[in-house]
Amino acid sequence: MDSPDLLDLITETKKQLLHLQTLGVDGIQLPVIETSIPKAVPKSPIPQAITVKQEPVRHEPSVQTVNPTVNSLFGDIAPAPEKIESSKETFEQIHLEIGDCTRCPLHSGRTTIVHTEGNRQARLMFVGEAPGADEDIQSRPFVGRAGQLLTKIIEAIGLKREDVLIGNVNRCRPPGNRAPTPEEASICKPFLLREIAAVQPEVIVVLGNTAMKNLLNTREGITKLRGTFQDHKGIKVMPTFHPAYLLRDPSKKRETWEDLKKVRDYLDSKAKTK
At 104-156, the pLDDT tens digits run 999 999 999 999 999 999 999 999 999 999 999 999 999 999 999 999 999 99
**Domain for residue 257, yes or no?**
yes
- 75 φψ region: left (φ > 0), alpha (ψ -120 to 50), beta (else): left
**Domain for residue 79, yes or no?**
no
State the average pLDDT for the chain: 83
Please write the tens of the pLDDT for every residue from 149-176: 999 999 999 999 999 999 999 999 999 9
**Domain for residue 68, yes or no?**
no
133: containing domain: 91-273
| Number of domains, the chain | 1
Return the CATH number at 266: 3.40.470.10
**Domain for residue 10, yes or no?**
no
**Domain for residue 152, yes or no?**
yes
**Domain for residue 146, yes or no?**
yes
Closest to 132 measured CA to CA, from 123, 141, 124 = 141
Say whether 205 sits in a helix, a strand or coil.
strand
**Domain for residue 65, yes or no?**
no
**Domain for residue 41, yes or no?**
no
